[in-house]
Amino acid sequence: MRHFLTPLLLLIFGFSLSGQTWNLENLADFIENHQLNLKEPSQVLEKALRIKKLNAGNQNLLRSNATHQLDSVVTLEYSTSTQMLQPDRKQFFLYTQEGLVTDEQVYRWDADATEWNPFLRYRYTHDDEGRTTEILSFIWNSQGSQWVPELLDVVTYNADGDMEEVNTFIRNGGGWNNYDRAEFTYSAPGVIEQILEQWWENDEWVNDYLITYSYDTDRLWNVIEQFWDDDFEAWQNDIRWELEEDDRSNVIRFSEFEWDDFEEEWIEENRMLFSYDLNDNLIEQIIFFLEDFDDDELTPDFRFVLHYDDDSFLLSDTSFLWDEFEGEWVSFILTEYAYDAAGNPIYEGSYIEFIFDWELFSERETTFDPQILMENTNLPFLDRFGVFDVNLPLFLFDDFSVIYNGEIMVNAPLGYTVKELLIGPETITEQGIYYYSEVSPTSVIEANAGELRVYPNPVADELIIKGDYPEGTSLSLFDLQGRLIINKQLNSDQQLFVGGLKPGLYLFRIEGEGMIQHGKIVKQ
């Protein structure tokens, strides 16, 4: 859920709940520690879920006819020092001819140097089925001004196409050393039974975690995580999760337990209850937590209530805090939504209850391109725009998220703006811009333009444009903001110096008599 309280808002809005004063420190801690009081997934399983989602998207892409792909996302944030928006983060993607992402790079803005600094990079390799077989992770070496390989993930699959192993290697000098691995076993195709995590130590694999899944006919899932105890050389209980569904496959309960060594029993620490309407829309979520380990009673914590129109579009959601003194729910934040004629969510306004009245404190507006359909657009790795997700733990491996039917995008978003009204009624505090291109046969390994060859790609210093083209042909190079960087008349087998450009993705246009060609290059 995108509801959050900025530090400025919390400093200004200190309010009282049955005599208890809520301020920046205790309210922020309350939200973080109770609303999201679930154990974090291991890096191995988080990686496995990422691979699984990537594979699903790739295979869907290979079955469809994508017309557009997301080239980059640029976000800007409000600076309290300059009282203006300034760049914050840039993420861009490169693709194969089939539309599968092969390169993902993330840059962060250096306000002092007023330039983008490389931050993270991932290079992906796929098999013929669109499944990810390798992920190569890089870090940026600022002294050498180059990407340096750091980790290599190698993924293998069984005969049913299910993920079998994820082996991670770490760069050491000029070679790769074992780092960690995960092994997946299945009781049937696609039905996970066990996940074993190990790490490499003293030239051998050492047990780390074991996760075991069990199912019954009453739609109850039971997942137990155990850790390896070196002293006893045995698996010891750690955490258990239960997930219960109704007869329509809606999640109605999620519980998290921790093992009590002294009592030798499972203690329920967190519980989420979910309710739905006749259209299977989520209409209520209640969160409980264990406040006192000496008492088995769970304490109410947070409650969310959602309202829809007759077409299942979300109109509003309200969050409540539990007032332990009065023993009742107290409304806290209200968010209202609006849509355009196509059904795209174009507005959401968030209110906080202040002295028995609702005070508008945040607005978010989103614009869309009516010519680009989401179903025909490749959007790698981005969260579903504007979709509410209760974030059940990733270590359940399968994608058990409770999502309401509202805010589903029809068209591709062009950008969004966020206003924090306490800073100023027209002050934009966050902005996101999305850049797309039409799907073309341009390869990301080597950009070909008709009979022309534009290489190497990625390029460090010299870009070569080779081939037969008519006299008067010119090359234009643009950044992702559409600014013209270079415009040059081409001669035969032209060499173009680009060493002075900042690292990043650039778009080129080659235009001559009777010809126009487009492509992309990456400046290292």
Kind and range of the H or E element at 211? strand 204-215
Strand partners, 420: 362
The residue with tokens 């409770």 is 402
Q: Which residue has the tokens 């939504």?
A: 337
CA distance 24 to 360: 18
Beta strands in 295-440 (DSSP E): 299-308, 314-323, 328-339, 345-353, 358-373, 377-378, 411-420, 428-438
For residue 204, the model assigns a pLDDT of 96
Rounded to whole angstroms, the Cα distance separating 154 from 175 reads 15
256 backbone dihedrals φ, ψ, rounded to 5° = -120, 130
Strands 84-95 and 101-110: antiparallel
CA distance 39 to 102: 32
In angstroms, the CA 90 to CA 73 distance is 6
Buried b (16+ CB within 10 A) or exposed e, 454-473: bbbbbbeeebebebebeeeb
The DSSP 8-state label assigned to residue 403 in this structure reads B
Among all chains, which residue has been given the structure tokens 């390029």?
A: 459
User: Which residues does 492 contact at the CB level (< 8 Å), separation at least 6?
Assistant: none
Tally DSSP H helices, then E strands, for the chain.
3, 33
What's the pLDDT at 497?
Answer: 84
340 φ, ψ (degrees, to nearest 5):
-90, -175
Q: Which residues contact 35 (CB under 8 A, 6 or more apart)?
A: 287, 301, 302
The domain limits of the chain are: 7-438, 447-523
Structure tokens at 102: 């092969």
pLDDT in tens, the chain (524 residues): 223 333 222 222 333 333 333 332 333 343 344 343 445 556 667 777 778 877 877 776 776 677 888 888 899 998 888 888 999 999 888 888 778 888 889 999 998 888 889 999 999 999 988 899 999 999 998 888 889 999 999 999 999 999 999 999 999 988 999 999 999 998 888 888 899 999 999 999 999 999 898 887 766 688 899 999 999 999 999 999 898 888 888 889 989 999 999 999 999 999 999 999 998 888 999 999 998 767 778 999 999 999 999 988 889 999 999 999 999 999 989 999 999 998 888 999 999 887 778 989 899 999 999 888 887 787 775 543 333 344 444 444 444 444 433 446 788 888 999 998 877 677 888 999 988 887 754 433 333 444 567 877 778 788 888 777 777 788 888 776 567 788 888 876 678 888 888 877 777 778 777 666 767 777 77
The answer, as to whether pTM is greater than 0.85, is: no
Supply the pLDDT for residue 394: 40
Pairwise CA distance, residues 475 & 223, whole Å: 58
Contacts of residue 135, defined as CB under 8 A and 6 or more positions apart, other chains included, come to 47, 51, 122, 123, 124, 125, 152, 153, 155
DSSP 394: G
CB 195 within 8 A of CB 180: no
Residue 19, judged by CB atoms within 10 A of its CB (0-12, 13-18, 19+), counts as exposed
What does each C-alpha distance from 398 to 220, 243, 273, 481 come to in angstroms? Answer: 14, 12, 19, 38
Q: Are 449 and 520 in contact (CB under 8 A)?
A: no
Longest dimension (CA), the chain: 85
Pick the CATH number of 447-523 from 2.60.40.3080, 3.30.420.40, 3.40.50.2300, 1.10.540.10: 2.60.40.3080
278-294 in b/e burial notation, b at 16+ Cβ within 10 A?
eeebbbebbbbbbeeee
Q: How far apart are the first and last CA of the chain?
A: 37
